[in-house]
């Protein structure tokens, strides 16, 4: 006998004795009363969603009295089970309808204890459902809807409907009903998940969220939506799941017939069709203000897809709401009519009740006498109520609507313009709460959805009128978009306020040109009359223009206050902001690839190290960049705070460690000792020592005060990527390219043990807060959890689809965060071995992650030039600092010399028309772009006939482009690390590539197949070149060697040794007799191909030599260096000829024009320069437009020095 049979038994007896069945609440009380252990009324109230007092004083006593009458003895909550066991003691002799029909008749026979115990076990097992209610509201107070709940429960539980829609107007309580229904029937499901679509969630994100909850531990990162839907259908077929999606109308289109999805949400059609048509044993429940077309087609009274039209509350429930609001009545008929007049809309009745209480002392009859029937529609009611508010009350409501999410009194105080006192604000808030127009939870204020929608629509219409008349009030007093809020909330403001306003304005003004003309006129009027003060009008105009992608070239905003302008994603070329004051405005950052990050011990600052060689200090309180530490000549791979927060250490690819005074930004000391990149740095807990690891395979221990290297720990045989110290400061762990982890005793320097298990390099390590656990991750995409004291691997965490690049333990919880090359961050329950959340938002590989001290915020940075801050609890992105960078990684001339191809950090290939090299000056426009790579474009090469271009990228791919059409013909995949170099064979039939995976590959140009993979180098490869006859390949590597290969056999013919550091570039002389190589040891070497002998070493650069090139006529050798210069050498004698100066950052690439008269150079300063080889003069500088190119920021206020430096780097003219 199961629980349903027991409840059915009691229900039948109630009907026999009384003529009516048990209510849903009574059934729920019986169900819970049978559970073990026995539940108190407080627990039952929480489960059922009713108040404790109602259960104790009304529903409970009535039920027990009813059962007492039936059982003919006193029944109470405490003795119900005992009496039930006694009364269920005989079975009826006949089976009716093949079901056992139990009776309390004395003539029945006895029921076994096993039957009853099994029933109790079934009851208790109902509460094993896995539930995720997300942001669902609390429905502990719930009035009415018994019949609706019964109908919907029948459809879902008994009829097993696959899809059910609840449709009704705003304010009808669809959201609350969906939650209450879900709670009532959760016992029938293995999984229940509730999600709101109010923030316009993309289907891919929604499905990822749902699948992660269902599967608990993701094994694969599903990217394709069809794949995600298929996985969902499979899971719903194997398990009984209830999926509740609320506020579907958010993603439905406006301005067209109802039920059609917006363009960005068309994928939902496929989801609903599949869930409605495919066989499965789960249910999708949605709420919406509109019926969606796809469900209408599948709906039917007896079909598995049904739609429920939600009307108003019945009279009893409606009057209960009015009663709670303090209303009273003597004429029931009048009261009943009043509920019907307002269609039982719960929200309308709630506001109505407050109005009657305030204006008519709660008397319904007095309210009716005054015939205030303008409240017959909810909009009329809200408008009337709104007009009764004080000016401050109206301001608060508008700001609550604009803020979308809950806000504090401090938030409102900052928003309201002109400013008001805290006392006045609190008084006004109290008044609004008394009118039931706002809600307060945990001292945070918000609006009901319908009220919010009404206010936003009203605000939009008022602003439209103000723009038409050019008489600004609300437009100047309210920010339509805020920059100092959570990222997802700002996007909601764009979707619900800015975009709808723009759409309506364009309709009114006929086209965007006329709208722009009107806004320009308003700006001019504001300048002439100086009316804005510190208001929001100019910021609103800028946000509207940027959202509409207006070309703002030539616009004049000078001498205005600009507040809450979100300019981070805008291109503002030749815009006049002279003498403006900026408040709470956001600009793009001068950010590049983030390699490292750390929070200050007091959590006030976040520090990042990047590939620009800069250390950026971000104020988390002000949400802005406040300082930049400059001094390194290479990438900053590691940053670390001293425990007292006074000092910062940084490790760089320039082979140095620098110590900085955090308060002044001054470099106090530079530590020399490593002879290759410094990959990581960390302080000991006592601040006395500093530990560093490097590409020279060593770990060094430094005395912090003196800067002296106390000890070098040797043991690894490849790069040391990561070093971490146990919390007690006694032990050190190091992870290496050699696939091993070593545990060291810090005071002796002794290696205690070596942990092995990873199959590829180890990139990152992290100790748990208590120091008992060590986590490791790297190239094999697996996170390992170690008991480092025994060397035992406790768990493996699988899920990332690319390399693990950073790990961080939560300070207090059992959470481990991981950042990877698959663009995602995962939050793991490392003890259970499950992935809790996957955070999506970065569009390139992650470089670093770090938890704030309290663990509530996780910071991340990566190759997309962005820093993001995430709420650990919700997984939502709350802040993004988006950078801009466009280094020139590679340059090469086409064979005819008319085109210069450039590979850029911004993932683009730019093709410049350089057919006329006689024009002096800077060219910023005449180029076309090839789009397709998802990472830096590191190398480009033309085919000998110039018809094809090959490109190599940090996205691990090669692409082949048609130079006539600009289309990508092929993408060659095979390397599993960055591809640093690509070269065509002289006959154009083959391509060679060199990669960070230690290999060279030779590809067939026609088929795209890999013909050979050449391995012998012991480290990353940076360069590859074909000999003029195509028979030989040369390669340069970080293992300090140049290798010469036979292209036919793949055999290594020679290994050229002599360089003292990485070989960055190799090139053959035009006659094929010599190879030139450039190295990080600051030299160029010339080698005889035939013998492998080094015939000359060219010395002159004072930093890394990144690129070398022979002129086609064999007369010149050019070298580009990180010392910002290009040097020209006599290729035959090796004599130095001249130095070319003009770049202000690293020179990454040099290439000769086919006529040998010109040389192109590409630099980290984002420019390409073309030089006259004979004179050494720059005849042309090429640069793509930066975001703020030629915009004027002279005499501005409100920005920090670092922010102004950033603007200048982004192309602006800046002075104080």
Task: Give buried/exposed letters for 842-851 (b at 16+ CB in 10 A, else e).
Answer: bebbbbbbbb
The enclosing domain of 135 has a CATH number of: 3.40.50.300
> Do 910 and 1049 belong together in one domain?
yes
Compute, in degrees rounded to 10, the torsion defined by CA atoms 789, 793, 796, 802.
80
In sign, the C-alpha dihedral spanning 318, 319, 320, 322 is positive
The enclosing domain of 726 has a CATH number of: 2.130.10.10
> Do 147 and 32 belong together in one domain?
no
Whether 23 maps to a domain, the answer reads yes
Residues 839, 1103: Cα–Cα separation, whole Å: 40
In sequence order, the β-bridge partners of residue 825 are 819, 839
β-strands 614-619, 605-610 pairing: antiparallel
Q: H or E element: which one contains 206?
A: helix 203-215
Residues 804, 793: Cα–Cα separation, whole Å: 17
Q: pTM of the full predicted structure?
A: 0.69
Give the end of a domain, one of 881, 906, 939. 881
The DSSP line for 344-407 is T-HHHHHHHHHHHHHHHTTBHHHHHHTT-GGGGSHHHHHHHHHHTS-HHHHHHHHHHHHH-S-B
Residues 1025, 1087: Cα–Cα separation, whole Å: 14
> Do 706 and 854 belong together in one domain?
yes
Contact between 1088 and 1058 (Cβ < 8 Å): no
Closest of 480, 475, 474 to residue 498, by C-alpha: 480
> Do 797 and 819 belong together in one domain?
yes
The DSSP line for 833-893 is TEEEEEE---SS-EEEEEE-TTSSEEEEEETTSEEEEEETTT--EEEEEEB----EEEEEE
> Do 118 and 8 belong together in one domain?
yes
> Do 1040 and 1164 belong together in one domain?
yes
Whether 554 maps to a domain, the answer reads no
**Mean pLDDT for back-to-back runs of 10 residues, the chain (1216 residues):** 67 66 72 66 64 66 77 72 61 35 37 40 54 90 89 93 87 90 92 92 91 76 80 93 93 72 91 92 91 84 91 88 88 82 78 83 84 56 77 93 94 92 89 72 84 89 96 95 92 94 95 95 90 82 95 94 93 94 89 93 96 92 90 93 96 95 96 94 96 95 96 94 96 96 96 95 95 95 96 96 94 91 94 94 92 96 93 93 89 96 93 79 69 93 97 95 96 94 97 95 96 94 97 95 96 95 95 96 95 95 94 97 96 96 94 96 94 95 91 93 89 86
Here the tokens at position 765 are 């390590």
Closest of 978, 939, 735 to residue 844, by C-alpha: 978
> Do 715 and 845 belong together in one domain?
yes
Here the tokens at position 243 are 């999926």
In sequence order, the β-bridge partners of residue 313 are none
> Do 873 and 973 belong together in one domain?
no
Closest of 930, 977, 973 to residue 954, by C-alpha: 977
Geometric angle at alpha carbon 19, from 15 and 21, rounded to 5°: 45
Contact between 1044 and 1080 (Cβ < 8 Å): no
Give the end of a domain, one of 311, 339, 355. 311
Contact between 1078 and 1095 (Cβ < 8 Å): no
Here the tokens at position 803 are 């390399």
Find the helix packing angle between 24-33 and 60-71, rounded to 10°: 80
Q: Name 471's Cβ contacts closer than 8 Å, sequence gap at least 6.
A: none
Whether 580 maps to a domain, the answer reads no
Contact between 643 and 685 (Cβ < 8 Å): yes
> Do 925 and 1037 belong together in one domain?
yes
Give the end of a domain, one of 856, 881, 906. 881
Whether 1211 maps to a domain, the answer reads no
Closest of 756, 768, 760 to residue 831, by C-alpha: 768
What number of residues does the chain have? Answer: 1216
Residues 306, 299: Cα–Cα separation, whole Å: 5
Contact between 927 and 912 (Cβ < 8 Å): yes
> Do 922 and 811 belong together in one domain?
no
Whether 294 maps to a domain, the answer reads yes
Whether 670 maps to a domain, the answer reads yes
Beta strands in 665-730 (DSSP E): 667-672, 678-683, 689-694, 699-703, 709-713, 720-725
The DSSP line for 597-648 is EEE-TTSSEEEEEETTSEEEEEETTTTEEEEEEE--SS-EEEEEE-TTSSEE
As for how many domains the chain has, the answer is 5
Whether 759 maps to a domain, the answer reads yes
> Do 118 and 140 belong together in one domain?
no
Whether 376 maps to a domain, the answer reads no
Geometric angle at alpha carbon 448, from 442 and 452, rounded to 5°: 115
Here the tokens at position 794 are 């406790």
Structural domain that includes position 65? 1-128
Q: Name 167's Cβ contacts closer than 8 Å, sequence gap at least 6.
A: 174, 287, 288, 289, 290, 291, 307, 308, 309, 310
> Do 784 and 703 belong together in one domain?
yes
């Amino acid at each position: 006998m199961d629980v349903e049979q027991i409840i059915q038994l009691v229900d039948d007896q109630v009907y026999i004795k009384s003529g009516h069945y048990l209510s849903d609440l009574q059934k729920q009380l019986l169900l819970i009363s049978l559970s073990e252990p026995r539940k108190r009324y407080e627990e039952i109230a929480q489960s059922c969603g009713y108040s404790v007092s109602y259960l104790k004083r009304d529903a409970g006593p009535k039920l027990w009295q009813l059962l007492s009458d039936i059982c003919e003895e006193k029944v109470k909550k405490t003795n119900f089970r005992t009496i039930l066991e006694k009364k269920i003691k005989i079975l009826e002799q006949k089976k009716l309808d093949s079901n056992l029909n139990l009776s309390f008749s004395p003539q029945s026979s006895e029921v076994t204890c096993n039957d009853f115990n099994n029933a109790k076990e079934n009851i208790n097992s109902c509460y094993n459902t896995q539930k995720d209610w997300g942001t669902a509201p609390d429905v502990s107070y719930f009035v009415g809807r018994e019949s609706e709940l019964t109908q919907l429960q029948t459809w879902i539980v008994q009829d097993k409907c696959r899809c059910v829609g609840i449709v009704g107007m705003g304010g009808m309580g669809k959201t609350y009903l969906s939650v209450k229904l879900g709670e009532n029937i959760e016992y029938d499901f293995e999984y229940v998940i509730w999600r709101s679509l109010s923030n316009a969630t993309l289907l891919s994100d929604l499905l990822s969220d749902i699948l992660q909850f269902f599967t608990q531990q993701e094994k694969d990162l599903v990217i394709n939506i069809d794949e995600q839907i298929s996985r969902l259908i499979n899971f719903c077929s194997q398990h009984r799941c209830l999926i509740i999606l609320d506020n579907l109308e958010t993603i439905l289109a406006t301005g067209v017939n109802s039920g059609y999805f917006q363009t960005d949400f068309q994928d939902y059609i496929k989801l609903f069709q599949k869930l409605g048509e495919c066989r499965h044993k789960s249910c999708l429940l949605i709420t919406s203000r509109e019926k969606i077309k796809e469900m209408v087609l599948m709906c039917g009274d007896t079909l598995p897809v049904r739609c429920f039209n939600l009307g108003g509350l019945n009279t009893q429930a409606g009057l209960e709401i009015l009663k709670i609001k303090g209303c009273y009545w003597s004429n029931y008929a009048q009261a009943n009519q009043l509920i019907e007049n307002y269609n039982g809309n719960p929200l309308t009745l709630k506001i109505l009740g407050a109005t009657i209480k305030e204006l008519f002392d709660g008397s319904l009859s007095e309210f009716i006498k005054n015939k205030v029937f303008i409240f017959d529609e909810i909009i009329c009611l809200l408008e009337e109520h709104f007009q009764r508010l004080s000016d401050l009350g109206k301001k608060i409501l508008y700001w609550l609507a604009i803020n979308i999410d809950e806000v504090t009194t401090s938030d409102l105080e900052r928003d309201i313009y002109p400013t008001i006192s805290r006392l006045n604000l609190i008084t006004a808030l109290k008044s609004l709460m008394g009118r039931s127009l706002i809600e307060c939870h945990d001292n945070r204020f918000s609006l009901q959805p319908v009220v919010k929608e009404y206010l936003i629509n009203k605000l939009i219409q008022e602003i439209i009128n103000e723009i038409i008349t050019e008489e600004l009030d609300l437009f100047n007093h309210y920010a339509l978009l805020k920059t100092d809020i959570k990222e997802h909330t700002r996007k909601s403001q764009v979707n619900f306020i800015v975009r709808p306003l723009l759409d309506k304005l364009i309709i009114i003004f006929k086209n965007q040109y006329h709208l722009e003309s009107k806004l320009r006129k308003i700006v001019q009027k504001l300048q002439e009359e100086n009316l804005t003060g510190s208001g929001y009008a100019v910021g609103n105009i800028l946000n509207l223009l940027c959202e509409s992608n207006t070309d703002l070239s030539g616009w004049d905003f000078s001498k205005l206050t600009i507040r809450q302008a979100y300019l981070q994603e805008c291109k503002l070329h030749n815009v006049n902001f002279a003498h403006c004051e900026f408040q709470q405005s956001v600009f793009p950052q001068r950010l590049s690839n983030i390699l490292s990050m750390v929070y200050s011990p007091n959590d006030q600052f976040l520090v990042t190290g990047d590939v620009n060689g800069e250390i950026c200090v971000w104020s988390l309180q002000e949400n802005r960049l406040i300082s930049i530490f400059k001094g390194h000549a290479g990438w900053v791979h590691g940053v670390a705070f001293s425990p007292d927060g006074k000092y910062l250490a940084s490790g760089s690819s320039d082979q140095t460690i620098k110590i900085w005074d955090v308060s002044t930004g001054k470099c106090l000391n530079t530590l020399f000792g490593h002879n290759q990149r410094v990959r990581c740095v960390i302080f000991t807990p006592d601040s006395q020592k500093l530990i560093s690891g490097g590409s020279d395979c060593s770990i060094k221990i430094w005395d912090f005060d003196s800067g002296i290297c106390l000890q070098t720990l040797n043991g690894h045989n490849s790069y040391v990527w990561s070093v971490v110290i146990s919390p007690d400061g006694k032990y050190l762990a190091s992870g290496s390219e050699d696939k091993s982890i070593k545990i060291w005793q810090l005071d002796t320097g002794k290696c205690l043990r070596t942990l092995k298990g990873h199959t590829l390099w180890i990139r990152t390590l992290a100790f748990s807060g208590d120091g008992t656990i060590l986590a490791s991750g790297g190239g094999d995409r697996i996170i390992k959890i170690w008991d480092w004291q025994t060397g035992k691997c406790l768990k493996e965490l699988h899920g990332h689809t690319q390399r693990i690049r950073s790990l961080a333990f939560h300070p207090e919880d059992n959470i481990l965060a991981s950042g990877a090359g698959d663009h995602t961050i995962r939050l793991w329950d490392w003890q259970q071995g499950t992935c809790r959340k996957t955070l999506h938002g970065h569009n390139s590989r992650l470089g670093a992650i770090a938890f704030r001290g309290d663990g509530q915020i996780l910071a991340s940075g990566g190759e997309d030039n962005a820093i993001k801050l995430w709420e650990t609890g919700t997984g939502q992105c709350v802040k993004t600092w988006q950078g801009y960078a466009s280094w020139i990684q590679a340059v090469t001339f086409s064979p005819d010399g008319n085109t210069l191809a450039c590979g850029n950090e911004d993932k683009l290939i730019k093709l410049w028309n350089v057919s006329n090299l006689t024009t002096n000056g800077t060219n910023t426009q005449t180029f076309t772009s090839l789009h397709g790579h998802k990472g830096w474009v590191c190398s480009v090469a033309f085919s000998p006939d110039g018809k094809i271009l090959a490109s190599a990228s940090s996205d691990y791919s090669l692409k082949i482009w048609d130079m006539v059409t600009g289309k990508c013909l092929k993408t060659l995949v095979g390397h599993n690390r960055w591809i640093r170099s690509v070269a065509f064979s002289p006959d154009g039939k083959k391509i060679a590539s060199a990669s960070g995976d230690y290999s060279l590959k030779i590809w067939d140009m026609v088929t795209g197949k890999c013909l050979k993979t050449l391995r012998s180098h012991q480290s990353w490869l940076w360069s590859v070149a074909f000999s003029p006859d195509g028979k030989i390949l040369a390669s340069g590597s970080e293992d300090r060697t140049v290798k010469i290969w036979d292209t036919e056999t793949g055999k290594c013919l020679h290994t050229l040794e002599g360089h003292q550091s990485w070989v960055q570039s190799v090139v053959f002389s035009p006659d094929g007799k010599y190879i030139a190589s450039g190295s990080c040891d600051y030299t160029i070497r010339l080698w005889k191909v035939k013998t492998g002998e080094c015939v000359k070493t060219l010395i002159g650069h004072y930093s890394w030599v990144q690129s070398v090139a022979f002129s086609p006529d064999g007369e010149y050798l050019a070298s580009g260096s990180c010392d910002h210069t290009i040097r020209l050498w006599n290729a035959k004698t090796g004599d130095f000829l001249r130095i070319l100066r003009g770049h202000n950052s690293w020179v990454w690439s040099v290439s000769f024009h086919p006529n040998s008269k010109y040389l192109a150079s590409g630099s980290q300063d984002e420019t390409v320069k073309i030089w006259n080889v004979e004179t050494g003069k720059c005849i042309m500088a090429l640069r793509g437009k930066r975001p703020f190119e030629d915009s004027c920021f002279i005499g501005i206020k409100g920005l920090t020095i670092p922010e102004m430096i950033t603007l200048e780097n982004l192309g602006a003219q800046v002075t104080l």
